[in-house]
Chains A and B, each alone.
Chain A
Amino acid sequence: MSVALPPGRFTRLVLKVNVFLLIALALGAAFMGLVAYKQGWFVRQSPLHFVTLNALGITKGMPVKLHGFTIGQVSELKLAEAGVDVQLSIVSQYLRRIPQGSYARHAREAGVIGTAVIDIVPGQGTMPLAEGSVIRFEPARGIAEIIDEFRRQAVPAFNEVKQAMSQVGRSGEDLTAILAALRAEVAQLPATHRAVRKLVEEATKTTTELNQQAGATLAATERVAHGVERALPALSEKLTHSIDSIDAAALQLKRTGEEAQATLRSARPLLDHGEVAAREAGDVLSAAKRVWPLSDTFKETTDGMLPIDSFEAQGKGRLR
């Protein structure tokens, strides 16, 4: 039996199938491109390496972070002579942000738990790392290591606490004695209170007496002041007399100075005469030295010149 198909149903069927296939292919390619883009296949990557003895916990595709920001991923792990050579693929534009001296460490995003990442700790260098550089790696500490370190640090503290507690235990007996003494002291408090009240009363009485004595002292001071007040005019009069005497002495001194000046003025011609006389005496002596019987005795050896000594040429002249 044959079924009659409506006319024109499969017309241009090949064309329709081809169009469908083309669209499906285009969609598949777009999906692939999207995936590749999201995977970073179109971004240029730069490799970095580190070698670790134990690559436990490091997996391919593990993110590599700098300051918590993903800059690449673990791209390859290879067994090498010194352990495992781990290759990191870093987005090339971020490589310049990794200075020389940087190192990688295995970390988790939330401390002990959380996603494991490779954290790049920046170094102190000024130049960025070169492409393909090998950096240092610091493996992550396991729970066992962390506990061990905690134990190492905590044990001495625990020991000290234990020692302190034992001392407190030993001093329990002393504590009983202290409490007994304290109780005895408390029992004596009323007597102490009475003694303090008595002391206050005596202090009040003493203050009153002191006030009375101070009044007497003030009266005596008043009397002294009165005496001084009476003595002052006489003293002032005497001081005036003394100042007058000093004035007179100064006047006398001034007069004496003027007289001395006048004497000196009158003596000046005498001094001039003396100088002239001395000069003339010098002339007479000079003339006498040149006169025949004495001239040989007083013959001048130099003409006032200092010796011109060739010894000075040795540079020792200044050491005279």
Chain B
Amino acid sequence: MSRWLAACVVTLVCGCAAPAVERGSPAQARLAEAEARAVALARSGDYAGAARFYGEALRIATSLENADAIAANAVNLSIVEQWLGRDAQARAALAAVLDEPRAAFSERRKTQAELRRAILEAALGNLGAAEVWAGEAERRCAASCEYAAAIFNVRAQLALDSGRSAEAARLAGAALERARGDAGRPEAANALRTLGRARTAAGDPSRALEPLRQALEIDRALGDPRKILADLTELARAADSAGDAQAARGYKERGLAVSRAINDGRSAAETEVLLRR
């Protein structure tokens, strides 16, 4: 019996065995530390501090010729810079990946960088450039790529902004199909919102209400006030277009409350304009 017990213990110990972690050089340690600090600062809402550490991490990664770290920190830096409203710096950060054709970046990192560039250009209203970069990302991204839903969503928004509501609805549907699982819930909500907007734009506001309500449910579960505000604004617009003034007023008032709560002066002004209509 004791022999069997000893054998079981040895088997268990062997099964639990794991390779030792390589300590790495001081520069690598500094890189890991800068990345960890940047992530912590970004989570705590200190985006300026996060940008500083992402920049530092990018510099160290470049000195180490660590392609994967360069790309990851460049993409993260571009995201934080955009959150800070520094669009030019956000675009410049991506140049570390997109303007270095000889660097050995993985396809995944290249897709991330191209998608980010498309998002940036779309946010700046450069629809043509955004289309090009979204096309590049889509070409690189396989059908089951983890960013397929985001790419389709960006393309759907571009189509909507260009006045092609039918194509926008089709692309949003495609994005919704690919946004599965917990990881895909934010993109699913984005797809539903874009679908609702496309239907409102196409003159079918009554059919826009359902996807917008679903988007609102998901966004409330995810806890992103910006998206909740966007959903309520679109719902108010759709209800207004559908002739349901009372429902529209309710959505507008909710949107106004959210807007005031997140201290978003610009959106509050927009919502107040909507309320006065």
Contacts and interface: CB of A to CB of B under 8 A. Distances in A.
A154 B42 CA distance: 91
Contact of A319 (B15, B20, B124, B264): B264
A287 B21 CA distance: 7
B18 A310 contact: no
B119 A313 contact: yes
Interface residues of B, number: 51
Interface residues of A, number: 26
A317 interface: yes
A317 B157 CA distance: 15
Contacts of A317: 79, 82-83, 119, 123
Contact of B153 (A292, A303, A310): A310
A309 interface: yes
Would you call the interface of chain B mostly helix, strand, loop, or mixed? Answer: helix
Contacts, number: 100
A301 B39 CA distance: 14
A314 B115 contact: no
A179 B23 CA distance: 121
Given A306-B42, A317-B123, A320-B83, A283 B130 contact: no
A305 interface: yes
A278 to B, nearest CB: 13
A283 B19 CA distance: 11
A307 interface: yes
A305 B187 contact: no
A287 to B, nearest CB: 5
Interface in A283-320: 283, 286-287, 290-293, 301, 303-320
Q: Which of A291, A292, A310 has the most CB of B within 10 A?
A: A310
Interface of A: 283, 286-287, 290-293, 301, 303-320
19 contacts: A291-B16, A291-B18, A306-B75, A307-B186, A308-B115, A309-B119, A309-B190, A310-B151, A310-B157, A311-B186, A311-B226, A313-B123, A314-B230, A316-B123, A317-B79, A318-B84, A318-B85, A320-B45, A320-B47
